[in-house]
Structure 1
Amino acid sequence: MTDPAALPDLPLPEQRQIAIGHDAARTTVLTQLAEHRLPGAIMLQGPQGIGKATLAFELASAILTATGDEDPKRVREQVAAVSHPNLALLRRRSKDAKGYYSVIRVEDIRELRETLQHTRGRAGHRIAILDSIDECNPSAANALLKTLEEPPTDTTFLLISHRPGQLLPTIRSRCQNLAMRGLSDDLVRAVVSSSQPDLDAETLDRAVQLAGGRPRRAFETLALGENSPVGALLAWLQGPERMPVAAQIQLADALGADAQGPDMSFAREILNDWLAQEMREAAMQPAGRSRLASATELWEKAGALLGEADSVNLDMKQTLAVIFDAIRKHCALFANPAEPA
């Protein structure tokens, strides 16, 4: 199944199956596997792009091998092709030749549930991977909850979440939650070098610096052109209130020119990180209630606007212009805004 978030010329998580780092989460699951006490649902949670999906497929291969009767190499090959009969994978489905649905729908969850109710194709445990659960719409989330409340026997759900705080508390309570953190710069460098060993040192160092512990972000940096507006966005976020309005309009036009392109994808992550950091800093200030309320409102507004732009194909340039204007006004009201991550 194609990953709607896949980056060009990079292997998919199911093709990698070897996650660098994340030893604590890996050890926890492998210990449970060895002791025959795998839980019905495991949530791998943490920032997007740190290797959660890759670890999920690594664990899937280990579980299918340990509980089945096939050669490990054969299992890895089937997992890489998502063809193992005891493996189910759910991502956002393709809508047409031009793109994907913006959410995982209730019918997708129902189809997954029906698949898991069938007689298993091979001996051993079954694995269902949701990449990611954050993309379930409310109806899909409720349908998933019913499945987690009455899970099929000998089945483990591996749920990937970038924003666990926004999920239904009842879903989180049904899972073993494994928190995963960003990688060290050395580990990010190892991930990038393993896929692109011919990178020059300067380019690699810049990618690692901008990655912020997320290998995916490093790869996105490498995919950007020399004149990418992402650099201008990072500069603008250093002090939006000090920049002329014309600068943010030009920035919105440049980033929004290709709503599905790598520049826009990277920009959205940077904006999310900046907004999250601004809320954290406001929450830590003794007298930061007003700033926190403003930052929270800004987070919700940006998320709603971008979500609406995705779902009904609104003009991304105009959407960004509105978000940038709201950020500038927020920064003009409060001192010490967050630095871009």
Structure 2
Amino acid sequence: MSRAPRAIKEQTFEEDPDLPVRAMPDLFGHRGAAETLQKAALSGRLPHAWMLAGPPGIGKATLGYRFGRWLLAGGAEGALPEAATPLHLDPGHTTFRRIAAGAHADLRALRPNTGEKGGVKQVIRVEDSRDAIRFLAMTPAEGGWRFVLVDGAELMRPEAANALLKTLEEPPPRAVLLLTTAAPDRLLPTIRSRVRRLDLSPLDIGELDPLLMRLLPQLSTTERATLGRIAEGSAGQAVALAEGEGLAMQALVDRALADPGDRRGWHALADAVAAKRDGSGFATFIALLRRAISAGVRQAARGEARPEWLGDRPLADWSTLWDRLGQLAAETDVLSLDRKQAVLTALLWLAPPRR
């Protein structure tokens, strides 16, 4: 009697969220920082430790990988042809392909992961830091350099930061350590004093739009423009908003601010914001509302054209409202309060003061 064929178990593969960063061939913004890194390497006096600082999602890790693969491909030794953009490496180059695949023997990346068992806080653990230190001390496998990228260095545990400090004090030869951080002041002063710091700025719309065309080709020109505005120069934030409900929530924010006195429409708007049971729509709505208020106040303070709704109350009152909205979001999350009621409360606060 013949046996029935055994069912083939479907294989699942874990998504690699870092792949688009490792495999990005083009430079969007940050040309000055890239030129500084390249000139330092070509000078023959390359500092062994760098820090790229700037807001989240603006391309710090992307630039870090760009520098790492250029260095490991022999860029510092003049082994690469001149290019129109600094730190350029042809995507067909074997070093580019291996780093994109996460398979280069002389490059290691550290990034935050879940801390204690069952916890959700993202940290860089001491064992990861010590592993990177041992890696840097080894002779380069391909005779060139060793390169470690610490992405999100402000999330290092204190013991991880202290372990890394020893390597900064006594760096091994032909080894480069590059830290990225959105909060440089959270790093140990002793670490900050031993790295060369480059501050990166958010991308302007001319730099951001071509990048969004590549990352989010399904969006229209209008949708990309909206994302560029609310993401404030951060490609990472734009992608996160697009993958969530960012565009839909921004439309609701615009509606709430355009006619804050429309009490008849409040319940429908609150229902739309609170529709998702996981609370993601509510969190995005409040974050975008606060971002719009903050941007409007900054425009007014600089003497630029201000949104019409900003004239409903003094600027100081808008700043107070920004704080209250943040507190409302935090309390709603921590105390598991009714999200629709929280939205209605926010809309009530937005309503023009009665004369």
TM-score (norm 2): 0.67
What displacement does 1:301 show? 8.4
Deviation at 1:39, TM superposition (A): 0.8
Counterparts of 2:180 and 2:141, CA distance in 1: 25
Distance in 1, Cα, partners of 2:188 & 2:258 = 34
CA deviations over 1:24-62 (Å, ceiling 9, x no partner): 100000001111111111111111111111111111111
Written as runs of structure 1 = structure 2, the 5 A alignment for 1:15-54 is 15-54=23-62
Q: Does 1:106 align with 2:126?
A: yes
Distance 2:136 2:63 in 1: 22
Find the residue that maps to 2:209 and give its secondary structure.
Answer: helix
Residues in 1 aligned to 2:107 and 2:146: alpha-carbon distance in whole angstroms: 6
Larger radius of gyration: 2
User: Matched residue of 2:274: which SS?
Assistant: helix
Give runs of aligned pairs for residues 1-341 of structure 1, distance below 5 A: 6=17, 11-66=19-74, 73-93=93-113, 102-225=122-245, 228-229=248-249, 232=252, 254=274, 257-258=277-278, 317=336
In the other structure, the counterpart of 1:335 is: none
The Cα shift of 1:218 comes to 2.2
Does the 8 Å contact 1:17/1:54 carry over to 2?
A: no
CA 1:217–1:118: 2 relative to 1, 3 Å: same
**Aligned pair in 2 of structure 1 residues 280, 111: CA closer, same or farther (>3 Å)?**
farther
Letter of the structure 2 residue corresponding to residue 21 of structure 1: G
DSSP 3-state at the match of 1:21: coil
Which one has a larger percent helix, Structure 1 or Structure 2?
1
Shift of 1:86: 0.9
- C-alpha contact (below 8 Å) 1:82/1:89 kept by paired residues: no
In 2, the alpha carbon distance for the partners of 1:108 and 1:299 equals 38
Change (3 A) 1:302 1:60: farther
The residue type equivalent to 1:125 in the other structure is W
- For the 8 Å contact 1:211–1:218, the answer to whether it is kept is yes
* Equivalent position amino acid for 1:142 in 2: N
- Structure 1 residues 258 and 118 mapped into 2: Cα distance closer, same or farther (>3 Å)? farther
Which sections of structure 2, spanning at least 5 residues, go unmatched? 1-13, 81-88, 303-315, 351-355
Q: Alpha-carbon deviation of 1:127? A: 0.7
CA distance in 2, matches of 1:205, 1:33: 37
Cα contact 2:125–2:160 (8 A) shared by 1: yes
Percent identical among aligned pairs is 26
Q: Is the contact between residue 17 and residue 57 of structure 1 (CA under 8 Å) also seen in structure 2?
A: no
More off after superposition, 58-67 vs 212-221: 212-221
Structure 2 Cα separation of the partners of residues 106 and 92 of structure 1: 11
- 2:23 counterpart SS class: helix
Note if contact 1:220-1:266 (Cα within 8 Å) is conserved in structure 2.
no
Give the residue type in structure 1 aligned to 2:242. Answer: L
